Amino acid sequence: MSPPTQHSLIEDVQGLGLGIFLCTIGIHVLTFAGLITGQTAGIAVILSYLTGWSFGLMFFAINLPFYALAYFRLGPAFTVKSLISVSLLSVGSVLLPKGFTIEYLATPLAAVMFGSLTGLGLLAMFRHNGSLGGLGVLALLMQDRFGYRAGYVQLAADAVIFSIALFLFPPQVVMWSVLGALVLNLIIAINHRRDRYVAT
């Protein structure tokens, strides 16, 4: 078997840019429908609903403590990519609604669209050694060091977040939100395999 192929800088920029863009659209769909999600983004969404502060600001602030872990455990390149990605998503989540408005979107469809767009976006980022920080850093660390699939680790974290959400939001909101998170994490669990994808 040929050795792994190193991604070029241009390939990394393209892959990470595409991933951030897809995730930004996913978040826009999610918040339009009033749904929540898991992981660090889910915490930021919940806090933005409860406080009225923007998702972008909450998401950026919550990720700050995770950069030290990313630096020491996953390296400076991963940390820099994650910091840039989080910053761009935070800014993009504020700017995107100014150029892309949604008039109507059925809640079940919104859940599936969010999970699909964000799952594909995160997959693109993972394959270029990036992430959106936070619990994604922990999930990748668990996968690389202990062999647990990143998607399944995130499912466990999501279970905790959604259990708390049941006390804060109507059951139907949580139910459709779980569907979106399930679609997202299954995409990652099935497709993010280092034994199948060897470029770095």
For 69-105, what is each residue's pLDDT tens digit?
Answer: 778 777 888 788 888 889 999 999 999 999 999 999 9
Provide the pLDDT for residue 78: 78
Share of the chain above pLDDT 90, in %: 50
Please, which pLDDT band fits residue 200 given cuts at 50, 70 and 90? very low
Provide the mean pLDDT of the chain.
86
What is the pLDDT averaged over residues 146-168?
Answer: 84
Indicate the range of 89-103, 137-151, 169-183 predicted with least confidence: 137-151
User: Left, alpha or beta for 170 (phi > 0: left; psi -120 to 50: alpha)?
Assistant: beta
What is the pLDDT averaged over residues 49-75?
Answer: 87
> Residue 197: pLDDT above 60?
no
What is the pLDDT averaged over residues 161-177?
Answer: 94
Which pTM does this prediction carry? 0.84
> What is the total residue count of the chain?
200
- Looking at mean pLDDT, say which of 9-13, 51-55, 125-129 comes out highest: 51-55
